[in-house]
Amino acid sequence: MRPDDEAGLLAMVIDAVKTGRPMAIHAGGSKAGFGRPVVAPAMLDLSGLAGIIDYQPEELMLTLRPGTPLAEVEALLAARGQMLAFEPPGLAALCGADDGAGATIGGTVAAGMAGPRRIRAGGARDHLLGFSAISGRAERFKAGAKVVKNVTGYDLPKLIAGSFGTLALMTELTLKVLPAPEDIVTLVVPAPADTAVTAMTRLQIGPLEPTGLAWLPAALAGDLTEAAEGVLLIRFEGPDGALADRIARAGDAGIGAAGTRVLAAGATRPLWRRIAEVAGILNPQAGEAVWRLSVPPASGARVLAAALACDDARGFIDWGGGLVWVALPEGTGGDGGAGHLRQAVAAQGGGHATLLRGSDILRRRVAVFEPEPPVLARLSERVRAGFDPHGLFNPGRMRASDIGADISAANGGQP
């Protein structure tokens, strides 16, 4: 089913309510491999709900339909010297999407995705001002507003971002945009992981305002360095004069070492795009799982070290130590490494281990998202039931309890 407008979508949801027919939600297809496999008798393709509704550059506000390709949005903003500040990645290559799959703005927000600039600008949920949607009750509703300052009512934009289409189907969304930086550079500093994470912490609480902080081991750094221990990457954005000053002050603060290099904009932009998209750094192969570990920033190096204790594992650190990416064989531990990685995260202050890439079999067998404590799981289920009481939207995408008998049977009777 492929509606071309909100009225057509509403008619399809009304029919689904009457027939009790669940639907797998699809748009660009870039993240079809992210989350548990959805088995449903119908596929709802939202790519027809595309196009810009209202763009006011002077007000830093953009209203558009959810099926609008992310690449189209970024090109529109770039032409006016603006950007989506949360630097959303497409992740098609990482999630094993089919050739030709492309991220849409609705799917990006629904997955709550953000790139390296999240440490300074926040995530997708912080830039979603408002939206219109249709619930699983076949009811139209709106939340938020087309203004930056809005404090009326429940903050549903924060709830819908990261819900993976399991609560409601957006038909329109309004995003805050920001001016693009005039210039951009990257400091490349040879350093082992633990030293790099300590430096990242100092930088984040200091006055230099980096917009990207990552660490790559030498095996994944390519020609960035010849150092055996790896490299700390520090991105600065702003006017030319300010960047030169920040580079000098970083050196004065002890952030630097012999062999430190400065990458200009031409090399910096593709480097951080590769970091955001992950696949360009980890180069995942068939038969490998890729995990995203969200941890306290000070724990990043220790969590990565524990993850690399697995055979043939490799990984890197982003978000100033708060995000660890790990690729390893799906056969690790009999569960794609889930048990080992979640134990490592718990031992270093807690956090979340999320499976971003894996076979359908693996994504049925393990919890793709971090398992919730029982009390929180019951609360989440009540929220979901409030929006979609019939379980029509993406059943089973986020947790096994949503999956119907057909999935259970396909998995040998296991949840």
- Asked whether the predicted pLDDT for residue 336 surpasses 70, the reply is yes
The residue among 230, 252, 277 that closes a domain is 277
Q: How many CA atoms lie within 13 A of 102 on its CB side?
A: 13
User: What percent of the residues of the chain are helix, what percent strand, and what percent coil, each to the nearest 5?
Assistant: 35, 25, 40
The residue among 243, 277, 311 that closes a domain is 277
Question: By the 8 A CB rule, do 324 and 216 touch?
Answer: no
The DSSP output letter for 97 is P
Same-domain check for residues 207 and 283: no
What's residue 124's pLDDT? 95
Question: By the 8 A CB rule, do 175 and 70 touch?
Answer: no
- Asked whether the predicted pLDDT for residue 232 surpasses 50, the reply is yes
Write the CATH number for 324. 3.30.70
Least confident stretch, 104-108, 142-146, 189-193, 264-268:
142-146
CA angle 355, 86, 43 (to 5 degrees): 50
What's residue 254's pLDDT? 67
386 within some domain: no
- Asked whether the predicted pLDDT for residue 411 surpasses 50, the reply is no
Name the pLDDT band for 404 (thresholds 50, 70, 90).
very low
What's residue 219's pLDDT? 93
CA distance 47 to 251: 48
CA distance 13 to 10: 5
Specify which of 200-204, 236-240, 343-347, 398-402 reaches the highest per-range mean pLDDT. 343-347
What's residue 249's pLDDT? 86
Overall average pLDDT of the 221-239 stretch: 89
314 within some domain: yes
Percentage of the chain exceeding pLDDT 90: 80
List, in sequence order, every residue forming a beta bridge with 384; answer none if it has no partner. Answer: none
Same-domain check for residues 21 and 129: yes
132: tokens are 């219109």
- Asked whether the predicted pLDDT for residue 388 surpasses 50, the reply is yes
Mean pLDDT of the chain: 91
- Overall domain count for the chain: 3
Same-domain check for residues 118 and 26: yes
pLDDT for 83-137, tens place per residue?
A: 999 999 999 999 877 766 789 999 999 999 999 999 999 999 999 999 999 999 9
114: tokens are 């953000």
Same-domain check for residues 269 and 307: no
293 within some domain: yes
More confident call, 253 vs 63: 63
Question: By the 8 A CB rule, do 191 and 199 touch?
Answer: yes
Same-domain check for residues 289 and 164: no
What's residue 225's pLDDT? 77
Same-domain check for residues 130 and 196: no
What's residue 150's pLDDT? 52
Same-domain check for residues 187 and 207: yes
Same-domain check for residues 16 and 126: yes
pLDDT for 47-86, tens place per residue?
A: 999 999 999 999 999 999 999 999 999 999 999 999 999 9
Overall average pLDDT of the 174-196 stretch: 95
Name the pLDDT band for 145 (thresholds 50, 70, 90).
confident
361: tokens are 């079999």
Write the CATH number for 63. 3.30.465.10
Question: By the 8 A CB rule, do 81 and 177 touch?
Answer: no
Range of the structural domain that residue 51 is part of: 6-179
380 within some domain: no
Question: By the 8 A CB rule, do 342 and 353 touch?
Answer: yes
CA distance 258 to 276: 27
Same-domain check for residues 361 and 224: no
What's residue 29's pLDDT? 87
Same-domain check for residues 54 and 125: yes
What's residue 410's pLDDT? 33
384 within some domain: no
| Helix or strand (DSSP H, E) at 238 | strand 231-238
pTM reported for the whole predicted model: 0.92
The residue among 258, 277, 296 that closes a domain is 277
Name the pLDDT band for 257 (thresholds 50, 70, 90).
low
What's residue 405's pLDDT? 35
List, in sequence order, every residue forming a beta bridge with 134; answer none if it has no partner. Answer: 140, 169
Same-domain check for residues 173 and 101: yes
111 within some domain: yes
Which three-class secondary structure state does DSSP give residue 165?
A: coil
Same-domain check for residues 173 and 198: no
225 within some domain: yes
